[in-house]
Amino acid sequence: MTKNIHYHFSRIARRYRSLRRTDSEPIIYIRKRLRKFTHIQAADVGCGDGRYDVKLFEYLGSRLFLYCIDCNQEMLDELVSYLNHHRISQFQVQRAFADDLPLENRSLDCLFTFNAIHHFPLREFLSEAARVLKENGYLFIYTRLRSQNERNIWGQYFPLFTEKETRLYELEQLEDAVEATPGLGLQSVEFFSYARVSSLDWLVEQAQHCHYSTFYFYSKEEFERSLSQFTQNLRRHFSDPNNITWVDENVLLVIRKRASDSRSSLSSTVSD
């Protein structure tokens, strides 16, 4: 993570939950995958302010103990406050980077990351995931692809947004990286889409507060010009500024740690 992006998350930490959406659908899917686990020792890497962690506890309940890992202290401070507010105690905060996880070998049943993989050194993170997961443990990666990003409200109508956002991956890149990581196997890819509705005023406020770190790649002049054009674009394409509609898309990669004695052993657990 670059210095500027780290500063962005420090500055926005207290408002981040109010600016971003939290999707329940991938958590519901994860719960189905983990239905046979009576106890889940897990970590959320790039956990931020804990908005997805509260959802994990909501759907996985007392079975879950969670290591909340992020490199930004301000985000972790917000996470502690947020989880305490929800009377959640089965967690431990760890300040660390995704390519150097402070976890023991083969210690986790699950590893999660939500909308953060583009901030990580991908292959190094996957290698760490393979190290810390138990045999047949799960890695869940929830993200938006570069092509999905191009189709959302920002990619379609906010000038330079897709050109500035070069960190996102395409599915083939993620699949290739998983395949190249010893010990990991891609089990499935799940696609999610969400019909969104918002007002023009709220979208402008989100952009002004850099709810996506992408906006930190704009110069001040570029951002001001682009925001003005964004407003014009939406007014031209939508007759009601209080009813701006679009579709957001995301994917969930379901990855498993292979049993060490056989690559084929993973296939025998597909239905678990």
Query: What structural domains and CATH numbers belong to the chain?
Result: 3-148+167-193+249-261 (3.40.50.150)
* Residue 50: strand, helix, or coil: coil
pTM for the full predicted model:
0.90
At residue 248, the pLDDT reads 97
At residue 270, the pLDDT reads 39
At residue 272, the pLDDT reads 47
- The rounded Cα 116 to chain-centroid distance in angstroms is 4
At residue 18, the pLDDT reads 54
Q: Which has the closest alpha carbon to 231: 205, 260, 213, 269?
A: 205
At residue 20, the pLDDT reads 65
Q: Tens-digit pLDDT profile for the chain (272 aa)?
A: 555 555 556 555 555 555 567 999 999 999 999 999 999 999 999 999 999 999 999 999 999 999 999 999 999 999 999 999 999 999 999 999 999 999 999 999 999 999 999 999 999 999 999 999 999 999 999 999 999 999 999 999 999 999 999 999 999 999 999 999 999 999 999 999 999 999 999 999 999 988 888 998 999 999 999 999 999 999 999 999 999 999 999 999 999 999 874 444 343 333 34
At residue 260, the pLDDT reads 74
Q: Which has the closest alpha carbon to 42: 76, 61, 23, 67?
A: 67
At residue 1, the pLDDT reads 53
Q: What is the distance between the alpha carbons of residues 77 and 111, in angstroms, rounded to a whole number?
A: 21
Report the first-to-last Cα separation within the chain, whole angstroms.
Answer: 35
Q: In what order do the strands lie in the sheet with 40-45?
A: 91-95, 64-70, 40-45, 108-114, 133-143, 244-257, 184-198
